Amino acid sequence: MYIPAYFHETDLKQLDWLAAHDAFGTLISLHEGAPLATHLPVLYRREDSQVTLTGHWARPNPQWSAIEGQRVLFIFHGPHAYISPRWYTDPPGSVPTWDYATAHLYGQVRLIQDPERLEQVVAALAARFEAGAATPWRMSEALPREKLLRGIVGFELAVDDIQVKFKLNQNHPPANLAGVIAALRAQGGDDATALAALMQQALDKRAES
């Protein structure tokens, strides 16, 4: 991923934030000589700098059949928004851009086909995304479990390279950032609001230094 120095994020707590913000990402590998992408949710785990992603495919998805041994890419997609020069102190001297936060994680996949381990993966994913529900769904309710588990293939991705990019107008003067933050907050919406919060965090950090 192309990451200018201004936008290169090295604090892995920001990666933690991205994974918590939106665990539905994109897994990219090669299949029959061409790129193949699957969009899926993952369980994210980090111990110091060691990151592991866990998830599963539907068994008919061909991606799993040739993925072992490959070095693959998983992308976390964070908030993003169009940025207008109208929000800067000097609009004629600027051009439109797009700000965003994203992470590219590279590594190798190990398949999970053991029914007991697969059941643990599905149960953990359900617990993660059913959290807060008045009557959360549980794996024990899935019948017949054995048949349902035969319909999926699990994976664990051991990450060996982490690239995190937070493009938040850090290359602009503080007054421009303040204008963008105000405009995004006024615009509203989940992405604009989340991006404004990240930009405010970056602006506060700049003021402290």
Is the pLDDT confidence value at 118 over 90?
A: yes
Spatial distance between the Cα atoms of 57 and 146, rounded to a whole number of angstroms:
16
Residue 12 contacts by C-beta under 8 Å, 6 or more apart in sequence? 46, 49, 162, 164
Q: Please give the average per-residue pLDDT across 69-83, as a whole number.
A: 97
At residue 145 the predicted structure's pLDDT band, cuts being 50, 70 and 90, is confident
Domain positions in the chain are: 5-169
Is the pLDDT confidence value at 143 over 80?
A: no
This prediction's pTM: 0.94
**Bridge partner list, 166:** 101
Question: Which amino acid makes up residue 12?
Answer: L
* pLDDT attached to residue 42: 98
User: Which pair of structure tokens corresponds to residue 8?
Assistant: 């290169």
Spatial distance between the Cα atoms of 61 and 31, rounded to a whole number of angstroms:
11
Residue 209 contacts by C-beta under 8 Å, 6 or more apart in sequence? none
Q: Which CATH number fits domain 5-169: 1.10.20.10, 1.10.357.10, 3.90.1410.10, 2.30.110.10?
A: 2.30.110.10
Q: Using omega within 30 degrees of 0 as the cis cutoff, is the peptide bond preceding 92 cis?
A: no
**Bridge partner list, 163:** 104
